[in-house]
Amino acid sequence: MTDAGTTAVAEGTLKGGGAPPSRAPSKALRSPWTAVPAAAILLVAVYPVLSDDLYYQNMIILSMVFAIGAVGLNIITGYAGYISLGQGAFIGLGAYTVGICVTDIGGSPWVWVPVAGLLSGAIAALLGVVAMRARGHAFVILTIAFLFLVQLLATNWDELTNGTGGITLPLPTWSVDYQYWPFYYALMGLLAVSLLASWWIRRNKFGMGLIAIREDEDKAATVGVSTPTYKILAFAASAVFVGMAGGVYGYYIAFIDPLGMFNILLSVQIILSLLLGGRATLWGPVLGAFIIEWLNETSNNEFGGGNTRLLIFGGLLALVVLFLPQGIIPTAHRWIERWRTRGQAGLAGERLAGIDLDGRAAAATPAAPATSAKPLLEVNGLERRFGGVRAVDGASFAVPEGSITALIGPNGSGKTTLFNLIGGTMAAQAGEVRFDGQRIDGKPPWRRAHLGLGRTFQITRLFREMTVLENVVAPLREFHLGLLGANAVSGREAERAEELLDFVGMRKYADVRASALSFGQQKLVELAQILMLDPKLIMLDEPAGGINPMLIERIGEMIRELNARGKTFLIVEHNMPFVLGLCNPVLVLARGQTIASGTPDEIQRDPKVLDAYLGEDFRLEQPVGA
């Protein structure tokens, strides 16, 4: 368990700005650094057989308990970005489950360990239900309250828990020759299983969705990630193995009381392990747990614990946040990466020209697509106020199926708010939105995405710490568990994502972190991202804003080609030549209302439109783009 946990997982997360992208995730596995964790695992595995030093055996056992806790916490904190200060509660819950079941029902404590895991998972899922609507800070508070609440229950519910008197568990029945071996190997097995679960989650679409939630929860919802379900599943997953480890831990120390089992310092130790080792890495929590437990034992033996332990834990927590916010493994990784890529130019500045759309460009100006009269999207009397400002004030319009519809209007006319209302990022205060004949206002954003509504943002909102490929794999077309478990790193979903990246000309960048891309490149990736939803309607918020003319032209071509393949578009844009050359019909929004709609020619001549844009005294000498 050293800082060289160079797995494919870590490689994927950490590949930084200037790194040359290469599609060879297996490369890392062959690196000499892989030998280090392997040797460490072997050493831990054979240690009890080689040495009968119980001091270190005890230390490793406790390290493994905290490592399991930290690996679990990593799922919600590292992947999903929700800080929990109450993770230690699940150790206590597991221990109490085993303790109570053994005293009240009987049997071997081992039998009850899986029950402890299930119960912890179930309680964590309930916590997830409460947390469903709570963001960031409120969630932290919830976890503190949860920890103290279970401690209070354990203290006061005498009939069940024997209160502060605690529960004493039977001593182990095996021969003393075997020392703590059963505890040791049981915990090692649990640690292995929880690591495997963590690895698996990081590789599948569920894990991608969690990271998407961490990076930008509102945006994640618009690409079909049903955030409450993801969160509830993540909380349950984060607690199951911790509960089981807690059960083993309770049996191991043989005495369970509210002060010891729900001590907030257990939670601190788990958090510290995760932060120190490195969030969102596979081995970070394990590495951190071994270091912290060693520190803990040292402070107890050398300085008598108590206040010294508080000073060390508190001080270390503050220092890690201030000076090592990434943790050991990611920081080490960054150094190695920087050393390896000295003097190589970044890819982000490379010219986009020369990327061939496989001859698609030639065929990309199809005859005007068949626009049916059937409206795909209907908006009726939509309203949204911010205090006294009526941002959207009774807007009504329809987007015909198969069309490329433009939505134009002066600054502040409510275009982006309207997009937010249609996409579901914001709730309308009146009016209705129908999509494909179905009423969708009131549905959460991910449901709308599942129905076939995809949108991009004016200021791109990619998941910055994810690679380009991960960004495109993260969206969820429809919700079923099989798709959540689908492999996102290779396999069908990843292939699909690569095809879409190919379409927008960004395949070369698949392994580059999104934050390293230029604005124009981000727009292309965001387009590929929503295409992953296989949407019927694509809503683009200023696709041509702030990017170079060549790219504008290419985006126009892509829109035409996608339209020829049956996608309907609704585009907000200020670039008039772009809009008038591409779209039909054109809708005009002013002061939150649709004031005109028609063909580009009609719109250019409409006095109401000129008035809205320029004031009534102004007349264009010549229509724009004519």
Q: Which positions lie near other proteins, rule CB under 8 A?
A: 81, 83, 85, 130-131, 133-134, 136-138, 140-142, 144-146, 148-149, 152, 155-156, 216, 218, 264, 268, 271, 275, 306-311, 313-319, 321-322, 325, 386, 416, 420, 425-426, 457-459, 461, 541
Residue 21: is the preceding peptide bond cis (ω within 30°)? no
Instruction: Give whichever of 126 and 355 is closer to other proteins, judged by the CB atom.
Output: 126
In 177-322, beta strands by DSSP E: 255-256
Q: CB 421 → other proteins: shortest distance, Å?
A: 12
Residue 19 near residue 508, CB atoms below 8 Å: no
Task: Say how many CA atoms lie within 13 Å of 378 toward its Cβ.
Answer: 10
Nearer residue to other proteins within complex by CB, 92 or 109 = 92
Is 118:240 a contact under the CB 8 Å cutoff? yes
Closest contact distance (angstroms) between CB of 158 and other proteins is: 10
Q: Tokens at residue 195, please?
A: 């690591």
In the complex, minimum distance from the CB of residue 174 to other proteins, in angstroms, rounded to a whole number: 38
Rounded CA gap, 233 and 124, in Å? Answer: 9
* Smallest distance from other proteins to CB 386, Å: 5
Taking the least distance from each CB to other proteins, the nearer of 11 and 215 is 215
Nearer to other proteins among residue 59 and residue 140 (C-beta): 140
| Dihedral sign (CA 46, 51, 52, 57) | negative
Using the minimum distance from each CB to other proteins, give the nearer residue, 123 or 596.
123
- Tell me how many degrees the CA angle 79-80-85 measures, rounded to the nearest 5: 100
Cβ-contact 490, 264 below 8 angstroms: no
Please report how close the Cβ of residue 444 comes to other proteins at its closest, in angstroms.
Answer: 15
- Axis crossing angle, helix 109-131 with helix 136-156, rounded to the nearest 10: 140
Tell me how far, at minimum, the Cβ of 400 lies from other proteins, in Å.
26
User: For residues 221 and 596, which CB has a smaller minimum distance to other proteins in the complex?
Assistant: 221
What is the smallest separation between the CB atom of 280 and other proteins, expressed in angstroms?
Answer: 12
CB of 458 to other proteins, least distance (A): 6
- Amino acid 467 reads T
Q: Which C-beta is closer to other proteins: that of 130 or that of 336?
A: 130
How many Cβ atoms are within 10 Å of 58's Cβ, its own excluded? 18
Nearer to other proteins, 73 or 113 (CB): 73
Cβ burial, residue 212 (10 Å; 0-12/13-18/19+): buried
Q: At 263, list the tokens.
A: 């001590």
Q: How far is CA 607 from CA 415, 575, 581, 619, in A?
A: 20, 20, 20, 9
Tell me whether strands 430-435 and 255-256 are parallel, antiparallel or unpaired.
unpaired
Q: Which one, 155 or 487, has the nearer CB to other proteins?
A: 155
Q: How far is CA 417 from CA 406, 412, 423, 458, in A?
A: 15, 9, 10, 11
Q: How many CB atoms lie within 10 A of CB 444?
A: 17
Any bridge partners for residue 572, and if so which? 407, 541
C-beta of 416: minimal distance to other proteins in Å? 6
Q: How far is it, in rounded angstroms, from Cα 357 to Cα 279?
A: 39
Residue 487 backbone dihedrals phi, psi, to 5 degrees? -65, 130
Q: How far is the CB of 530 from other proteins (least distance, A)?
A: 15
Q: How far is the CB of 460 from other proteins (least distance, A)?
A: 10
Least distance (Å) between residue 434 CB and other proteins: 24
Return the number of the residue (55 or 386) whose C-beta is nearest other proteins: 386
In the complex, the smallest distance separating the C-beta of residue 516 from other proteins, rounded to whole angstroms, is 19
Cβ proximity to other proteins, 349 vs 387, nearer residue: 387
Nearest to 235 by CA among 90, 133, 348: 90
In sign, the C-alpha dihedral spanning 95, 96, 100, 103 is positive
**CB-wise, 131 or 552, nearer to other proteins?**
131
Query: Structure tokens of 215?
Result: 């990076």
For residue 181, how many other CB atoms are within 10 A of its CB?
A: 14
Measured from the CB atom, the residue of 37 and 327 that comes closer to other proteins is 327
Nearer to other proteins, 268 or 332 (CB): 268
DSSP class of residue 285? H
Dist. CA 532–CA 493, nearest whole Å: 9
Q: How would you label 554-591 residue by residue, b for 16+ Cβ within 10 Å and e otherwise?
A: bbbbbbbbbbbeebbbbbbbebbebbbebbbbbbbbbb
| Closest separation in Å from C-beta 268 to other proteins | 7
Backbone angles phi, psi at 343, to 5 degrees: 75, 0
Supply the minimum distance, in Å, between the C-beta of residue 414 and other proteins: 12
Q: Which strands make up the sheet holding 586-590, listed edge to edge? A: 453-455, 537-541, 568-572, 404-408, 586-590, 593-598
Q: Which is nearer to other proteins, 16 or 305 (CB)?
A: 305
The whole-angstrom separation of Cα 244 and Cα 252 is: 12
DSSP 586-609: EEEEETTEEEEEE-HHHHHH-HHH
